[in-house]
Amino acid sequence: MSDGDILNGFTPEAAEPPRVVVLISGSGSNLQALIDAQGYDELGGGKIVAVISNQPDAYGLKRAKEAGIEAVALPHREYDSREAFDGALIKVIERHEPHLVVLAGFMRILTPRFVQRFYGRLLNIHPSLLPAYQGLDTHARALADGVAEHGCSVHFVTEELDGGPVVLQAAVAVSEGDDEAALKEKVHAREHLIYPIAVRWFLEGRLRLEAEGPTLDGTPLPPQGLRLSHQDAAEELDEAPEQ
């Protein structure tokens, strides 16, 4: 048998799918949107390999287990400092060798050490049209200001809280009768729409964080990323027209 025969009969192994670790603190609705996208093969060929929560009773851990994904509780209260917790979190994440770390309602301020360890492969979703309303209580603040438009943003994480480069946004028109609960529901629907898209772009190699900022297919993104209008998002979500 010649070397050529051996090579001709060789079947290369399929490339391992990109690995994703998701960090949560609560119900995990954005996690579920990512799990659903993976089930429909709409996650760029990626695989969610672990879900980690700083809250051991987070419902998102149950979602992970039901989807056959490793679920890890890492209670932050068991650590003396934010630095100690983040050090432990880094070790747990790195055991899974992720290509991408996704924050999906992870209610912890990350240390610079953590951000730098995963810089360029760390995404978050925030319930506002950044740079507006960084921090908490975004819906209440938007309503108090009487804005006509609100929404959500996917961004790369940097050391500045909610200040990293924006990749993708989805807007929602604020109706006269909206209260905080109604607005939150409409924004959540948009989060579940755009987060899997941004994750897919990254896992397909289309979305990158370069030295000058994020690029999609090699083209620099505008300062607020790409934005779905209220109408475009509503059509994608099959929402009833505003009365």
| Residues with catalytic roles | 126
Cα–Cα–Cα angle for 179, 37, 70, nearest 5°? 100
- CB within 8 A of 170, min separation 6: which ones? 151, 152, 190, 191, 193, 194, 227, 228, 233
Q: What's the CA gap between 30 and 11, in Å, rounded?
A: 38
Q: What's the CA gap between 238 and 93, in Å, rounded?
A: 37
220 Cα distance to chain centroid: 20
**Other C-beta atoms within 10 Å of 206: how many?**
14
